[in-house]
Structure 1
Amino acid sequence: MTQIKAALAAPAAQGGMTRRSLRARSGRAALEHRPERWLPAFGKRRCKNKSLEHRPGSDLRDDALEPAALALARGAARAGLSRLHALQALRCAATLGLAVALARLAGALIETGQLDGIALGLAGACLLAGAGLGSLIEAHSAALEAKVAVALVDAAEARLAAMPARAAADLPRGAVIAGLQRHPGALARLVVSHAAARRMMALGPVLTAGAVAPVSWQAAVALLLATPVMIVFFALVGGLIRDRAALQEAALGRLATQFADRVRVLPTILAAHGLPRETAKLDRRLKTYADGTMGVLAVAFLNAGVLDFFASLAIAILAVFLGLGHLGLAEIPGFAHLALWQSLLILLLAPEYFLPFRRYAELYHAKAEGEAAAEALAWVFSEEAETRPERGAVPAVPGARGLVLPYAGPVADFDLPETGLVAVTGPSGAGKSTLLRVLAGIEAPLAGAFRLPAQGVAASWVSLDTPIPAGTLGAAIADGAPATPEAVAAAAATLGLSEDPHWPGGLDAPVRAGAENLSGGQRVRVAVARLLLRPGTAFCDEPTAKLDPANAARVRQALASAARTRLVLVATHDPALAAMADRRIALRPTHCERQAA
C-alpha cells in the first residue's frame, strides 16, 4: 500500500518515478517503445452470454459482462472455494447428525427415563466434529479473503506502475487511496463469504428437508413452501440495499478526495485563517456520510428481522400442528401418530432449515458493497482510461521518429548513441523534462516511437524530488543495489556526500522520514551517487540545479564518468554541462509560447 500512496502522491509535473516502475520498464520491453506500450491491457471479461450487458448497480451475474475486478477476484478464490464448500457440507451433515442424536436422546429420556448410550455417543461425536469444522471454515474463509484482497491490491499496484505519471496524477488520489483500503476487502467478502452463504442457501435447506422427509414428508413440504417467501423478500429488499450501498461508496470517494485536497493546500488554508470553516465543512459531510451508512445498515437489519419473523412463524405453525397431533386434538396428516423423538427432530431441524437464509440475509449488504467495489475498481482495468495514440514504427537504431510530446508538440527526429552523455536543451517550457519522462517510459507520447540502447538492466532516474527512504546515507545510496560497502563509500566520496559539513556522520548520517532533513541539492547528489552503482541508462532532470559551483562540478564529472559505459540523458539549462555532452537535442519553444512571444 505504501507504493500505491507514493505513486499517487508524485505529481506528473514533477516527474517522480518509483524504483518499482523503473524496474518494470527495464529490459528489452522498454527498449522498443510504441505509445500504446503503457496503455492498460485490462478490461471487462465477456462470459458465455455476450448479449447481457452489465450496468452499474445491476446484479453481477456469471453470465453477464463481468467487471474485470470481479473476474480477477473470482479467479483468485476459485480453488479455495471448492474446499470451503466441502467443509460447509460436512458441517451441515454433522449438524443434522447432532439433531437426530439429540432428538433420540431426549425422546428416550422423557419416555423411558433412561439415557440412550448410542445416541449420547453420536451426539458427542457430531458436536466435536461440528465445532472442529466450524473452526476450519472460519480460518479458511479468512485466509481466502486475504488472498483475494492481496491479488486485487497487486493488480492495482501493477496498473499504477504501468500507468503514465500524468494519468496517475489525474486520478482522484484521496478516493483511490481510501478505496484501495476498502474495496479489495469488500470484493473479497463478496466472492468468498457471500458466495459460501449463497451455496449453503441452496444446499442446506435441501439437506435439512431431506432429513425431515423420512419422518414426515408433509413437514418437509411445509418447510419447502416457505422458501418462495424468502426469495421474494430478497428480490424486494435487495435492490434498495444495492442502490444505497453504491451511493455510499461514491460518497466515500468524494469525501476522501475532499480531505486529500484540503491536506494538499493546508498551508494556504492556514494562511487564510480558514481552518475552522473547512473543518466545519468536512464535519457536515462526514455526518451526512455516517447517516447514509446507518440507512444502509437499517435496511440490512430490517431484512434480517423480517426473515426471522417468517422463520419463527413457520416454526410456530409446525409446533402447533405437532402439539395437536400428540394431544389427539386433530388428525393432521404427517403430524399425528409420530413418536416423541420424531416430533422433536422436526422442531430441531426447522431452525436449521432457515439458518442459511438468515446467514445470507446478514451478508446481503456485503453483496451490495462488493458490487459497488467492483465498479469502483474499474479504473484498475479500464480500457478507456487513456486515448490510444497514433502508432509509429519503431526505429531500427536507437533514437526517436515522429515523436509528439504532450503539451510540447512534435520533436525533430534524433538518434541516440549506445553510450555517452546526451544533453536535452531548450528554453523553459520547451518540453525537456517531458521528453525525458517519455524516453524513460513514465509518460506516453501522443504519436511516434523510439528505441533505447539494449543495455538490459534497470534504468536510473535523477531529479530534485527523487524519493529517499528513511535510514542512513549509505542505505539511501545503495537502495537495494548489489554494491559492496567500498563501492557505496566511493560513490558518496565522488559526490562529496561523506564529507558534507551540513550533513555530518558520513555513511551513517541519518535520513529522516520523507528525507525532510535533506535539501533539494542533497537529494540530487544522493540520486547521482545511486546512478554510479547501477549500469543501466540514466535519465537526469536538471541534475545541477540548486547546487553550489563546487557540488555542480562534482555532479558534472560524475555524469561524464558514468557516460563512458552507458547512455546518460540530461535535461539541463547548465551551459557547462551541455558543453560536456557528446550529443545535444535542442528543443524549440512550444507553439503556445511562440504565439505569446
Structure 2
Amino acid sequence: MIDKKLFEFQGVSAAMAFLALLSLAQAVATVGQAYGLTLALVEIWKLHALASIVIPAGIFAAAFVVRQLCEVAKKSVATHCADRIVRDLRPRVQAKLFDAGPAAMSRRGTGATVTMLLDGLDQTKTYVQTIMPKMLDMTIVPVVILVVVWYENWLAGLVLLIVFPLLMFFMAILGIVARDKSDRQYGEFQNLNNRFVDTILGLPTLKMLGVSDDYEDEIYGVSERFRRRTMSVIMVAMSSSFALDFFTTLSIAVVAVFLGVNLINASVALLPALFVLILAPEYFLPIRQFGNDYHATLNGKNALADITSLLDAPDPARDDDFEMGRWDSDSDLSLAHVGFSYEVRDEDSSRNDAHGRASGRRGRSGSDEDTGAQTPEHSHALDDICLDFHGVESVAIVGRSGSGKSSLIDLLAGFHEPQSGVIAIDGKTTPHLNMAAWQRRIWYIPQKPYIFHGTIADNIRFYAPTHAPTASADQIQRAAEMAGLGDWLATLRDGLNTPIGEGNRAISGGQAQRIALARVTLDSSREILLFDEPTAHLDIETEYELKRTLVQIMRGHLVILATHRLHWLDSVDRVVVLDEGRVVQDGAPRKLLRQPGALSALIGEMGGDHIGG
C-alpha cells in the first residue's frame, strides 16, 4: 500500500511519527466529539433544561476544533514532506539523466522522460501527501474507537472487530486488480507520450514522405487504448467505492439494529447505545477515505517506482582521472576488436511495448537512431570494430540504415561503453571514452541540434563552458559569420539578440545546424568533431550551402562524419563502410571505388557509380 522506498528519503520517518501522534490526537478528539454530542442528545431526550447541554456542547465544540486543527496540521506536515521529497528528487533525476547521456534517454523515450520530470514528480507529490496521513488514520483511528466501543458494549465491538478484517481483505483484492490495471494504464500513458512527441518532432519529415495520415491513425489508436485503460481503472475504482460503502453501511445497520433490540429489551442504556451508534461510522471512515484515495494515488506510486528505478540504475562508467593533451598531427585513437550491443532484458521488452518502441520508430520520424541495431532481433550494434584515427583527417562512416553508424559515433562520443575490445589514445588504453579529458577535446553535432528558449547569442555560447561565459559580442558575431549566419542575422532587427526556441521565432533546420557550427567555431580548444548525419533532414539546396560551411570548419580537425549522403565522399580523406555493425571496407574513397566491394555496391543501390558533388 505504501512504497517502502519512501522511508529512504530524509525526514520521512520523523514526519510519519508526527503524523501518527496527530492521528492519535484526532482519534481521541473524534471520541470526545461523539461523547459530547451523545450527552447533549440524551439531555434533550430527557427534556432537561437547555442549560444542561452547555457543557456537552462545549465538549463537542472543543473536540471539533481539535479534530479540525489536527486535520490541518496533518495536511501541512504531509505537504511539507512531499515538497521536500520532490525538491530532493528533481535535481537527482536531472543529474542522473545528464550522466546517463542521450543513449539512455533514447531507450526511455523522450515523451516518457519529459512526463516523468513534469507530471511524474507532481503525481509523486500527490501520492506522498495523500498516502501518509490516510495510511496512519486507517491504522490508528479504528483501533482507538474499537477500544472505546468495546468498553461500552463488547458485543457491538465484536461486530466491528469481525467486519473490519473482512473489509481489509476485500479492499486488498480490489487493490491488486486496480494496481495491475493502473500499471497497464501508466504504461499506455508513457507509450502515448512517446508516440506523440516522436510524431511531432518528425512531422515535417512525415509530411514530406506523405505518411502523416498513417501516423495520425496510429496516434488515434494509441490514445484509444489509453482511454480504454483509463476507463477500466475508473470502473474498478467505482466498484471498489461502491463495495466499501455498501459493506460499511450494512455493518453500521447491523450495529444499529442490534443496539435497537437491546434498547427495546432494556438491556442497554440510551447513553452508551447512542454513543456506540455515533462512533460506528467514524470507525469505518478512515478505510473508506483510504479506499477512495488509493485509486487516485496509483499513478503517483507508479511514477515514484519509475523514478526510483531510474535512480537505482547503475551509473555509466566514467573516468575523470585519465589525462591526455591536445589532439595534434601525432595523436592517435585506436579501436581494437571493439564490440557493443544494446542491453535487451525481459523487462525491456515490456517497457518497449509500454513505451511504443520509441527508439525503433524514430527512423521514420527523421531521427538519427540506428533502428535496426536497437531491436531485440539486432541487439549487436557493433561487432569486432578495428579502426585507427590518426592526427588531422576527415573520415566518413557510411552504410545502410541500421548498420551501426550512429552507434559508432555515440561510442566515440562516450555515450556507450563497449562490452569487448580495447580502446587506446596515444598508446594509453581505456575501457571507454566517457571521460572528461576526452570529452573536453570533442564536439558532438547531432542530426538535430538542441535549440532552447533564448537569444541566438545565448544558443551559440551554450555548449562552450570554457569560453562562452566570457565571449564578447564580437567573438560571437565572428563565430556566427564563420558558420554562415551573417546574411540571415542581417535581416533580423535585433540580430544576435533575437529570441528563438520554443514560443519565439521559428528557425529552419539549416539555421539550427549553422548555430551548432557557430558553437564549434566559438570554442577553438576542441580539435575533434563528431557529426551524426548533420544534413540528413535538409533539402538538397540547404544541404549544399551548409556543406560548404562545414568543409571550411572541418579543416585542421579530426573529423568523423556518419552520413548516408555519398556526395560527402569527395570532401573526406577516408571512408569506413559498415555493414551489420562490422567494418567491411576502410580506405581512401576513390581507391575503394576502383575496386568491387561494399562501397561500390552501396553507391549502385543509391542510383549511381560515381561520387556526387
TM over 0.5: yes
Question: Structure 1 residues 156, 308: CA separation in 2 closer, same or farther (over 3 Å shift)?
Answer: same
Alpha-carbon distance between aligned partners in 2 of 1:253 and 1:285, rounded to the nearest angstrom: 10
Paired letter, 2:415:
I
1:531 aligns to what?
523
Partner of 1:289: 226
SS in 2 for 1:541: strand
For residue 15 of structure 2, give the secondary structure of its aligned residue in structure 1: helix
- In structure 2, the partner of 1:358 is 288
Q: CA deviation at 1:208?
A: 0.9
The alignment-based identity, stated in percent, is 20
Distance 1:185 1:493, change over 3 A: closer
Aligned to 2:179: 242
Residue 445 (structure 1) aligned with residue 418 (structure 2): yes
Q: Contact conserved, 1:92 with 1:204, CA < 8 A, in 2? A: yes
Aligned counterparts of 1:478 and 1:191: Cα–Cα separation in 2: 40
- Aligned residues of 2:174 and 2:240 also touching (Cα < 8 A): yes
1:231 aligns with 2:168: yes
Matched, 1:346 2:269: no
Task: Give the equivalent residue in structure 2 for 1:423.
Answer: 392
Partner residue, 1:522? 514
Using the TM superposition, give the Cα deviation of residue 483 of structure 1 relative to its aligned residue in structure 2, in angstroms: 7.2
CA offset at residue 244 of structure 1?
A: 1.9
Aligned-partner SS, 1:196: helix
Separation in 1, partners of 2:150, 2:31: 13
User: Which range moved further: 585-594 or 111-120?
Assistant: 585-594
The secondary structure found in structure 2 opposite 1:204 is: helix
Inter-CA distance 242–385: structure 2 relative to 1 (3 Å threshold): farther
- 1:513 aligned partner: 501
What secondary structure does 1:423 align onto? coil
CA contact (8 A) 1:405 1:411 kept: no
Shift of 1:350: 0.9
- Asked whether 1:82 is paired with 2:68, we answer no
Superposition deviation, residue 214 in structure 1: 3.6
Distance apart, 1:61 and its partner CA: 7.6
Residues 146 and 283 in structure 2, CA contact (< 8 A), matched pair in contact too: yes
Structure 2, gaps ≥5 residues long: 326-331, 341-381, 423-429, 536-542, 563-571, 586-596, 600-613
1:10-60 per-residue CA deviation (whole Å, 9 max, x = no partner) reads: xxxxxxxxxxxxxxxxxxxxxxxxxxxxxxxxxxxxxxxxxxxxxxxxx88
- Cα deviation, residue 118, structure 1: 3.2
Find the aligned partners of 1:553 and 1:302 in 2 and give their Cα distance: 67
Higher RCO, Cα 8 Å, sep 6+: 1
Deviation sequence 1:435-494 (CA, Å, 0-9, x none):
775454333334431689987997773536443333323333444959799842242244
Structure-to-structure mapping, 1:108-127, within 5 angstroms: 108-111=43-46, 112-115=48-51, 116-127=53-64
Cα distance in 1 for residues equivalent to 2:436 and 2:113: 36
2:244 alignment counterpart:
307
d(CA) in 1 for partners of 2:598, 2:544: 28
Cα distance change, pair 522–197 in 1 and its aligned pair in 2 (3 A): same
Given that 2:146 and 2:160 are in contact with CA atoms closer than 8 Å, whether structure 1 keeps it comes out as yes
1:173 to 110, 116, 137: 110
Matching residue within 448, 461, 465 for 2:443: 461
State whether residues 145 and 192 of structure 1, in contact with CA within 8 Å, keep that contact through their aligned partners in structure 2: yes
Report the 3-state secondary structure (helix = DSSP H, G, I; strand = E; otherwise coil) of the residue aligned with 1:428: strand
TM-aligned CA deviation for residue 397 of structure 1: 6.1
- SS of corresponding position for 1:225: helix
AA at the equivalent of 2:259: L
CA offset at residue 249 of structure 1?
Answer: 2.3
Residues 252 and 309 of structure 1: is their aligned pair in 2 closer, same or farther, counting only changes over 3 Å? same
Other structure's SS at 2:488 match: coil
Report deviation, 1:357.
1.2
CA-based RMSD: 4.6
Q: How many residue pairs align between the two structures?
A: 494
Q: Within 5 Å, give how 1:540-579 maps onto structure 2.
A: 540-541=529-530, 555=553, 570-571=559-560
Q: Measure, in 2, the Cα distance between the counterparts of 1:309 and 1:76.
A: 38
Out of 442, 452, 455, the residue aligned to residue 472 of structure 1 is 455
2:79: which partner in 1? Answer: 142
Name the TM-score, length of structure 1 as normaliser. 0.67
Q: Which stretch of structure 1 is more off in the superposition, 474-483 or 229-238?
A: 474-483
Amino acid across the alignment from 2:519: A
Q: Give, in whole Å, the separation in 2 of the partners of 1:456 and 1:588.
A: 22
Find the aligned partners of 1:262 and 1:551 in 2 and give their Cα distance: 30
